Homo-oligomer: A and B are copies of this chain.
Amino acid sequence: MSTMYEKVSALAVRETSKSIQEKIVKDAEIELIVNKTLTRKFSISPDSLKEFAMGYLLGEGLIRSLENVEEISIEENTVKVQVDMEDFDIVQELVVGSDCFGGWRQKIEFIDKVESEFTVDKKKLLKSFIKLKDNAFTWQKTGGAHVAALIYKDKFLSREDVSRHVAVDKVIGAGLLEKVDFKNSYIAYSGRMPADMLIKIARVGMPLIASNAAPTTSGYAVAKEAGITMVGFVRGERFNIYTHPHRVVID
């Protein structure tokens, strides 16, 4: 893992002022090129790029499993992937056609309901957030990164990124590479939950997402429709369950 921060000089203004060295979170322009034609730029933490690419492609529906990936090469800030999917052109049209700042209404129509018998115990859910914070190394140093974890049986895969979406992409990619059964896993993470985040979760078939932050109305609508349990404001011993609460075992 490359270093996720840089040191810079800053003036710390308190009661008195002094020059300090501060660690600030690194972000870089990463270019993802799929099948030589589909090109997207991202401002993200330049780390775990293979996991990022795999998770992003799965979450966008540009691959359905690792078997669709013929080749991946990473050179500095460029990730090139060759995928083999019969309907790539149709899916690409859908991904490129909708701007990255939106286009979720169109996407919701293509989402299947998540079918899963998965449940998680209240205490285990709360513990995963303690572990999440303990693993937020870059956030601890810089205060400027999101952290996400994919939790599956005894696995706890965590990644950080300046982008909350990409933190989740990275753990989904890590889970894909480790052949995690997404239908029996969940995401614990540090960001808000709008539609495009929930669509990602729905597309990989994950039954639950939990965050220390808030939902938005679009995310709530997708969670409800797609059958995903959405947990928000996990803080200390408390949280709220917004949709499909049966998956959290409280007693």
- Choose from B100, B215, B245 the contact partner of A99 (Cβ within 8 Å): B100
A: interface residue count bin: 35 or more
Check B195–A43 contact: CB distance below 8 A: yes
Residue A36 at the chain B interface, CB threshold 8 Å: no
Task: State whether the Cβ of A73 lies closer than 8 Å to any Cβ in chain B.
Answer: no
By the criterion CB–CB under 8 Å, are B248 and A25 in contact?
Answer: no
The residues in A between 134 and 183 inclusive whose CB is less than 8 angstroms from any CB of B are 142-144, 162-163
Contact B25–A216 (Cβ < 8 Å):
yes
Chain B positions within 8 Å of A163 at CB level: 101
A113 interfacial by beta-carbon distance below 8 Å = no
A41 at the interface (CB under 8 A from B): yes
Q: Are B239 and A8 in contact (CB under 8 A)?
A: no
Q: Which of A9-17, A58-66, A78-86 contacts B (4 or more CB under 8 A)?
A: A9-17
Which A residues are closer than 8 A to B by beta carbons?
5-6, 8, 10-15, 17, 20, 22, 24-31, 40-43, 98-105, 122, 142-144, 162-163, 192, 194-196, 213-218, 220, 233, 237-242, 245, 248, 250
